[in-house]
C-alpha cells in the first residue's frame, strides 16, 4: 500500500495517499465535493470548476489538485458554496436548459447540483444561444442546447471505448462538442453501448427510445440530493 498522510477538510481530518487528488481522498472518506466534469476512471479535466475549494487560502480545483500532507481545505464554507452556485448558474444561462420537458430531468447532474444548492432560478440573464441537434444516428442523439462542455464524452470515447468519436472545436464562447466526421454522428464509429454515451452528465447525449423507462419521481436525484451516496459512506463508517 502506498504511504498515507493526513490533511484537513472543513475541520475534519482526512487520510490521503500520494497520487490521490483532493476530490478522491475526500470521496474515500465520505466527504462529497460537488463536481460536474469529473467522472471516476477518466483523466481529470478541470473545466467546470464546480469542485473549487479553498486550499490553504487559495482557490483550486479539487479534481486536479493532488492532496498533500497538512493541507487545509475549505469545502462547505459559505464563500466556496457561493462560488459553486454562481458557476452552476452560469452553466444554466449559457445553454438552453428546459428541465421541465427534458427527459433527463431527475437524473441530471447539473439539475441535481442546482437542487442541492437550492438554486431556484439563475441570477444571470439567459444567453439563449443557438445550438444544434444531431439525430442522425439510429440509437443516439445529441442535443447541444444542454451541453455543458464537461468533456466527459470526449475522454470516455478516447480512454474507455478506444474511439475518438467526440472532440472540441472553436474557442471561447463558441466552443462546442463536435463529432469525428464530416457532418453527423451517424458517420462515426459510435455505438449505443459506448461509455461515452453513458458519460454525459446532462441531457446532451441521449439514447433513443429509453426516455421514460424510469418514471419521473423514481430517478436518481428525485429523493436524495446529488452526492448523498458518497456522504452515506461516512455515516456508515461512523456507525
Partner 1 sequence: MSQDHELERSVRAICQAHDRDAGRLLDIVRQVQVREGQVSGAALDLIAEELGQQRVEVEGVVSFYAFFSEEPQGRIVIRLCGDVIDRMQGAERVGKVLEDELGIRFGETTEDGLISLEWTACIGMSDQAPAALVGNVIVTQLATDAARDLVRELRKHGDPQRLVRTFGDGNNAHERVRAMVVNNIRQAGPVILAEMEKGSAIRKSVALSPAEVVRAVKTARLRGRGGAGFPTGMKWQFTRTAEGDTRYIICNADEGEPGTFKDRVILTERPHLLFEGMTIAGYAIGAEKGILYLRAEYAYLRSMLEEVLDTRREKGLLGAHICGKEGFAFDIRIQLGAGAYICGEETALISSAEGLRGDPKNRPPFPAQKGYKGCPSSVNNVETLCCVARIMDNGAGWFAQLGSECSSGTKLFSVSGDCRSPGIYELPFGTTLGELLELVGAGDAVGVQVGGPSGKMVGPADFDREFCFDDLATGGSIMVFGPERDLLEVASGFMDFFIDESCGYCTPCRVGNVLLKERLDKVRAGLADASDLDYLERLGETVRTASRCGLGQTSPNPILSTLENFRPLYEARLKSPDESLLATFDIQGALEESRGITGRDSLHFRREDGRQNSQEKGATA
How far are the Cα atoms of 1, 64, 143 from residue 11, in angstroms, in the given order?
Answer: 26, 22, 42
Contacts of 56 (CB under 8 A, 6+ apart): 71, 72
- In whole angstroms, what is the distance from residue 138 CA to residue 162 CA? 21
- Which CB sits closer to partner 1, 172 or 215? 172
Min dist. Cβ of residue 149 to ligand FES (A): 10
Contacts of 136 (CB under 8 A, 6+ apart): 183, 184, 185, 186, 187
- Does 75 participate in binding ligand FES (rule CB under 6 A)? no
- Which CB sits closer to partner 1, 30 or 111? 111
Render the burial of 202-214: b for 16+ CB within 10 Å, e for the rest.
bbbbbbeeeeeee
Cell numbers for 35, please give them. Answer: 463536481
Contact code string over 107-126 relative to partner 1, x by CB under 8 A: ----x--xx--xxxxxxxx-
- Which CB sits closer to ligand FES, 87 or 185? 87
Q: Which of residues 64-103 bind partner 1 (CB under 8 A)?
A: 64, 66, 82-83, 86-87, 90-94, 97, 99-100
- Does 184 participate in binding partner 1 (rule CB under 8 A)? no
Cell numbers for 152, please give them. Answer: 466527459
Considering only 7, 14, 22, 47, the residue that binds ligand FES (CB under 6 A) is 47
Contact code string over 184-203 relative to ligand FES, x by CB under 6 A: ------------------xx
DSSP class of residue 92 equals: H
Partnered with residue 28 across adjacent β-strands are none
- Which CB sits closer to ligand FES, 4 or 211? 211
**β-pairing verdict for 58-61 and 140-143:** unpaired
Min dist. Cβ of residue 114 to ligand FES (A): 9
Region label for 17, one of left (φ > 0), alpha (ψ between -120 and 50) or beta (otherwise)? beta
For residue 102, the partner it binds in ligand FES, partner 1, none, with Cβ less than 5 to 8 A by kind, is: ligand FES
CA angle (227, 232, 235) in 5-degree steps: 140
Contact code string over 126-155 relative to ligand FES, x by CB under 6 A: --------------------x---------
- In whole angstroms, what is the distance from residue 87 CA to residue 34 CA? 11
* Contacting residues toward ligand FES, per CB under 6 A: 35-38, 46-51, 61, 63, 97, 99, 102, 104-105, 108, 110-111, 146, 202-203
* Contacting residues toward partner 1, per CB under 8 A: 44-50, 52, 59, 61, 64, 66, 82-83, 86-87, 90-94, 97, 99-100, 111, 114-115, 118-125, 127, 149, 164, 166-175, 178-182
Amino acid at each position: 500500500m502506498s504511504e498515507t498522510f493526513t490533511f484537513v477538510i472543513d475541520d475534519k481530518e482526512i487520510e490521503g495517499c500520494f497520487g490521490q487528488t483532493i476530490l478522491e481522498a475526500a470521496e474515500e472518506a465520505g466527504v462529497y465535493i460537488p463536481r460536474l466534469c469529473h467522472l471516476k476512471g477518466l483523466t481529470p479535466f478541470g473545466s467546470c470548476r464546480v469542485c473549487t475549494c479553498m486550499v490553504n487560502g487559495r482557490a483550486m480545483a479539487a479534481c486536479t489538485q493532488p492532496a498533500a500532507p497538512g493541507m487545509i481545505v475549505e469545502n462547505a464554507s459559505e464563500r466556496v458554496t457561493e462560488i459553486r452556485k454562481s458557476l452552476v448558474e452560469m452553466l444554466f444561462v449559457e445553454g438552453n436548459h428546459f428541465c421541465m420537458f427534458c427527459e433527463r430531468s431527475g437524473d441530471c447532474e447539473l439539475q441535481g447540483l442546482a437542487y442541492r444548492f437550492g438554486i431556484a432560478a439563475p441570477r444571470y440573464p439567459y444567453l439563449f444561444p443557438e445550438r444544434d441537434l444531431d439525430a442522425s444516428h439510429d440509437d443516439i442523439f445529441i442535443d447541444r442546447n444542454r451541453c455543458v462542455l464537461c468533456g466527459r464524452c470526449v475522454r470516455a470515447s478516447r480512454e474507455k471505448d478506444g474511439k475518438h468519436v467526440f472532440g472540441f472545436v472553436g474557442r471561447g464562447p463558441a466552443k462546442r462538442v463536435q463529432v469525428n466526421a464530416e457532418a453527423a454522428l451517424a458517420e462515426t464509429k459510435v455505438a449505443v453501448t459506448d461509455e461515452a454515451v453513458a458519460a454525459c452528465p446532462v441531457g446532451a447525449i441521449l439514447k433513443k427510445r429509453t426516455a421514460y423507462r424510469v418514471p419521473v419521481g423514481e430517478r436518481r436525484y428525485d429523493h436524495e440530493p446529488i452526492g448523498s451516496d458518497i456522504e452515506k459512506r461516512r455515516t456508515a463508517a461512523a456507525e
